[in-house]
Amino acid sequence: MKQSNDFWFDVGPLHAIPPRGARTVKTPRREIAVFRTASDEVFALENRCPHKGGPLSDGIVHGRKVACPLHNWIINLDDGKATGADSGCARSFPVKLENGRIYLDMSVAAAP
């Protein structure tokens, strides 16, 4: 497979996500949760908790972590890894912020 990094898609302005909140981006292959921290960092994870598939975008964001709304696993936003005694990983996707807009790398997000 070719690996290309040039498919940055503008998915919307930062202010469309509340600070310490998240929203989803639907793609043909999967739903992606885009998180905004209190200090305006953005992260993108597949919107499925590694435990039982809970929608991470519905969790409580604290620092660079999110608490899954179903059984409260705490997932790191930067790499999708479960913290503490739990193990598992939600897939993370490249995302960047430029001039107040959020870009997702679709070449990665659309890959299987």
Partner 1 sequence: MEHRSTAPRQKLVVLGNGMAAGRVLEELFERAPERYDVTIFGAEPRVNYDRIMLSPVLAGDKQFDDIVVHDDAWYARHNIDLRKGEPVVAIDRAARTVRTETGAIHPYDALIIATGSRPILIPVPGAELPGVVTFRDLDDVDAMLTAARKGGNAVVIGGGLLGLEAAAGLAANGMKTSVVHLMPTLMERQLDPNAAYLLQKAIEQRGIEILTGANTSAILGSDKVEAVRLDDGRTLPADLVVMAVGIRPNAILAKEAGLEVKRGLVVDDFLRTSDDNIFAVGECVEHRGQCYGLVAPLYEMARTLAATLAGEQVPGYAGSVTSTKLKVTGVDLFSAGNFAEGDENDEIVLRDPRRGVYKRIVLQDNRVIGAVLYGDTADGAWYFDLLKKNADITAMRDTLISGQAYQGGVPLDPIAAVAGLSDDVEICGCNGVCKGTITQAITAKGLTTLDELRAQTKASASCGQCTSKVEALLVATLGDKYAGGARKPMCKCVDLTHEEVRGFIVSKELKSVPAVMQELGWKTSCGCPSCRPALNYYLLCAWPGEYRDDAQSRFINERVHANIQKDGTFSVVPRMWGGLTTPNELRAIADVADRFKIPTVKVTGGQRIDLLGVRKEDLPAVWAQLNAAGLVSGQAYAKSLRTVKTCVGTDWCRFGTQDSTGLGVKLERLLCGSWTPAKVKLAVSGCPRNCAEATVKDIGIICVESGYDIHIAGAAGLHVRATDLLGHVDTEEEALEYVAATMQLYREQAGYLERVWKWVEKVGLDKVRAAIMDDHEGRRALFDRFQQSQRAVRKDPWAERAAGRELHEFMPLAELNLIMPAAAE
DSSP conformation class of 95: E
Comparing CA positions, the residue from 63, 57, 94 lying closest to residue 76 is 63
- Among positions 10, 38, 41, 52, the unique one binding ligand FES when judged by CB under 6 A: 52
Binding flag, residue 111, partner 1 (CB under 8 A): yes
Residue of the chain from 54, 80, 92, 93 that contacts partner 1 (CB under 8 A): 54
Under the binding rule (CB under 8 A), the answer on residue 38 touching partner 1 is: yes
Site residues for ligand FES per CB under 6 A: 49, 51-54, 68, 70-73
